Amino acid sequence: MRKKMVAGNWKMCGSRCNVDALADAIKKGTKSFSTKIDIVIFPSFVHLQLIENILVDTLVSWGGQNLYLGAQGAFTGEISGPMLVDYGCQYVLVGHSERRIIFHEDLKLIAAKFKTALEYGLKPVLCIGETLAEREQQKTEKVITEQLESVIELAGIDAFRHAVIAYEPVWAIGTGLTATPEQAQEVHAFIRKLLAKHHPDIANTICILYGGSVKADNAAGLFAMPDIDGGLVGGASLEAKSFLAICENALEKAAGSV
Ligand code: 13P
């Protein structure tokens, strides 16, 4: 049985003061939670120290929203895997659509970042997903295949034993337009089928999150789908009440499944 996960991607949001309050509320709100679900927070780099101070020795893990290749060097503005590890990160987002589209990260760079994350002991959360135009042109499976195969080719299928995948249709991110549970399930099942061609066991055990306008009122329907193992939450993770409600939905599904 796969474990459910709820992850909060705080993107470029928050100040010292409200990150402190939000992390503290999440710490308090998850105190009574069991280890049946994984909870991960992705704050901005500058708030990692704050998060480490507050969330150390809790059930909540944290990670970086991005990383660059190598351990250190002349790469102004970048941050490395070892730097994230130094601040207690266990995870790192790789290939978020905002990185692919706004910052022009291509398939090759994303695959290299995925491999780099693993080399430094970080669990990459590989984000994949199609744009609205690609969906309308029935290219969803083609796009997903390219985004996955480019990583498998460089890092190898075994690398996925230590990774998480997040299916995030670009048209559902920050738009309030969530994929229906059926639409998301269809793509999640396709992702598992594609991985199964390489390694059936990894396809069965890997955690595949859905992301794109996940809210407290739609999480239950999404998390009930057989191939959806939780959510990568943007906007709704910036408020403790809605983030905790989404976590509770995952917890209910985890409890119901034993
Ligand atoms: P929203 O939940 O705000 O749509 O963001 C999703 C996302 O991009 C998470 O990585």
Where are the chain's structural domains?
Answer: 4-256
Long-range contacts formed by 202-206: CB under 8 A, 24+ apart:
202/157, 202/158, 202/160, 202/161, 205/2, 205/161, 206/2, 206/160, 206/161, 206/163, 206/164, 206/165
Asked whether the whole model's pTM tops 0.75, one would answer: yes
Which pLDDT score is estimated for 94? Answer: 98
- The H-or-E segment that residue 49 falls in is helix 48-55
Rounded CA gap, 6 and 232, in Å? Answer: 6
Atom of ligand 1 nearest to the CA of 98: 8
CA-nearest residue, atom 5 of ligand 1: 234
Is the Cβ–Cβ distance between 235 and 174 less than 8 Å? yes
232 lines ligand 1 (CB under 6 A): yes
pLDDT by residue for the chain (258 residues), tens only, comes to 799 999 999 999 999 999 999 999 999 999 999 888 999 999 999 999 999 999 999 999 999 999 999 999 999 999 999 999 999 999 999 999 999 999 999 999 999 999 999 999 999 999 999 999 999 999 999 999 999 999 999 999 999 999 999 999 999 998 888 899 999 999 999 999 999 999 999 999 999 999 999 999 999 999 999 999 999 999 999 999 999 999 999 999 886 654
Which pLDDT score is estimated for 256? Answer: 60
Q: Which CATH architecture has domain 4-256?
A: Alpha-Beta Barrel (3.20)
Which pLDDT score is estimated for 246? Answer: 98
Q: What tokens appear for 53 in the block?
A: 């101070």
Q: What tokens appear for 208 in the block?
A: 């595949």
168 lines ligand 1 (CB under 6 A): yes
30 lines ligand 1 (CB under 6 A): no
Q: Ligand 1 centre and the CA of 74: distance in Å?
A: 31
Q: Active-site residue 96, yes or no?
A: yes
Q: Ligand 1 centre and the CA of 205: distance in Å?
A: 24
67: number of Cβ within 10 Å: 26
Rounded CA gap, 109 and 117, in Å? Answer: 12
Of the residues 105, 134, 168, 248, only one is catalytic, namely 168
Which pLDDT score is estimated for 258? Answer: 40
